[in-house]
């Protein structure tokens, strides 16, 4: 059994994107079956958007509120 563990670990470290992609695909497939196509697509889009905002906020070293303010400026009414 330990042999299979070593094999799986080695394969995952060799090609992690394939396995992460497969896991994401499985999760999206389950979501489509559970909550429907449009709700699953909306959830996936919001998750991707949140990931993008978080990645940008970390990479820029700025406060996320400053980054959001740049794209969604406050309007004086």
Q: What are the tens digits of pLDDT across the range 20-69?
A: 888 888 888 898 899 999 998 898 888 888 777 777 766 755 666 776 77
CA 63/CA 14 separation, integer angstroms? 35
Model pTM score: 0.53
- Is there a contact between 32 and 44 (Cβ–Cβ < 8 Å)? no
- H-type helices in the chain, by residue range? 2-14, 16-35, 37-60, 64-71
Is pLDDT of 77 > 60?
Answer: no
Length of the chain, please?
77
CA 20/CA 32 separation, integer angstroms? 18
Q: What is the pLDDT of residue 51?
A: 78
- Is there a contact between 46 and 31 (Cβ–Cβ < 8 Å)? no
């Amino acid at each position: 059994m330990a042999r299979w563990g070593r094999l799986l670990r080695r394969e995952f470290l060799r090609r992690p994107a394939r396995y992460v992609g497969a896991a994401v695909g499985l999760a999206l497939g389950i979501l489509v079956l559970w909550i429907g196509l449009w709700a699953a697509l909306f959830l996936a889009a919001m998750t991707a958007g949140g990931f993008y905002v978080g990645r940008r906020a970390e990479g820029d070293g700025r406060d996320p509120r400053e980054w959001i303010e740049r794209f969604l400026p406050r309007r004086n009414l």
